[in-house]
Amino acid sequence: MRVRQTGPHRAKPHPIARPHQRHKSRKKQSESLSERAYEVLSNAIATGRLSPGTRISEKEVASQLQISRTPVREALLRLEVEGVVRCTSRRSYNVGTLTVEDVRELYQTLAILEAAAAAGAASQITAADLKLLETYNRRMARSARRGDLPGFGAWNRRFHGVFLEKLGNQTLRRACDSIRARLYTFPVRRSSLSQWLWKSVNEHREIIRLASARDAEGLAAFFREVHWGYEKNCDFIRDAFDRKGKGALHLA
């Protein structure tokens, strides 16, 4: 005969809360692995270890990183959205190309979008924002000294994000970040890379000056005509990127 327990009633775990917590934990872990796969693949492409046209196997990458295919697939889908890789079959991708003409279009697009964003954000820039801009630009200067293009790109994203975040438009921010990422993910020739990066650092100092003055018109004009002005950067672009997108190599 079974004896019914008469002691204190033990509260049962909430039927939704615990699974939800486990789900959040799994989601966070998946995002972390996806970010790791994204960084590894981006770096391999930027350094030329995965050259334009190279086939990327989802299965092989997962095996090398000792993770499941899911985060690798997520990383590849992100790179595909950014225009860095192209899907050739269900489980296979090829590294894309970035030509001088492609870069011209990227510059022209960013000139329009970020000029408007900077002008719209000018009146909202605070002293704390200015300190962030200065910090990020110092980090970019360090990357420029090392000739570290991917590292420069990462800090550059944060720098431009200060303006984009003020607008509260995540669609615009994602679009600008995705477009800009292509410039720092593909391999480039290094002959004038350092000079180009230092040019950008100096331009950021002028952007900080205009931001501190809350000069909306000045910021818009500078972003549009100088910072993202193709004609102001075309010599560096033609030197760094190949016309057909195949010959540019990130030389050590």
What are the backbone dihedrals phi and psi of residue 12, each rounded to the nearest 5 degrees, phi first?
A: -80, 145
For the chain, the domains span: 27-95, 100-240
Check whether 7 has a pLDDT greater than 50. Answer: no
Residues in the chain: 252
- Read off the pLDDT band of 164 (50, 70, 90): very high
Confidence at residue 150, expressed as pLDDT on a 0 to 100 scale = 82
Amino acid, single-letter form, for residue 14: H
- Read off the pLDDT band of 243 (50, 70, 90): low
pLDDT tens sequence across 37-52? 998 998 888 777 888 8
- Alpha-carbon distance of 129 to 211, in angstroms, equals 9
The residue written with tokens 């939800």 in the block is 20
Write down the mean pLDDT value for the chain. 83
- Read off the pLDDT band of 15 (50, 70, 90): very low
Comparison of pLDDT for 64 and 48, the residue scoring more: 64
Comparison of pLDDT for 241 and 197, the residue scoring more: 197
Per-range mean pLDDT, top range of 42-46, 51-55, 83-87, 228-232: 228-232
**What percent of the chain clears pLDDT 70, i.e. is strictly above it?**
82
For 223, which DSSP code?
I
- Alpha-carbon distance of 206 to 200, in angstroms, equals 10
Check whether 125 has a pLDDT greater than 70. Answer: yes
Confidence at residue 70, expressed as pLDDT on a 0 to 100 scale = 92
- Read off the pLDDT band of 29 (50, 70, 90): low
27-95 under CATH 1.10.10.10, yes or no: yes
The full DSSP string for 46-108 is HTTSS-TT-EEEHHHHHHHHTS-HHHHHHHHHHHHHTTSEEEEETTEEEE----HHHHHHHHH
Mean pLDDT of 6-24: 43
* Angle, alpha carbons 71-94-108 (nearest 5°): 95
- Out of 2.60.40.1180, 1.20.120.530, 3.10.129.10, 3.40.50.150, the CATH code matching 100-240 is 1.20.120.530
Check whether 83 has a pLDDT greater than 80. Answer: yes
pLDDT tens sequence across 131-157? 999 999 999 999 999 888 888 989 999
Check whether 74 has a pLDDT greater than 90. Answer: yes
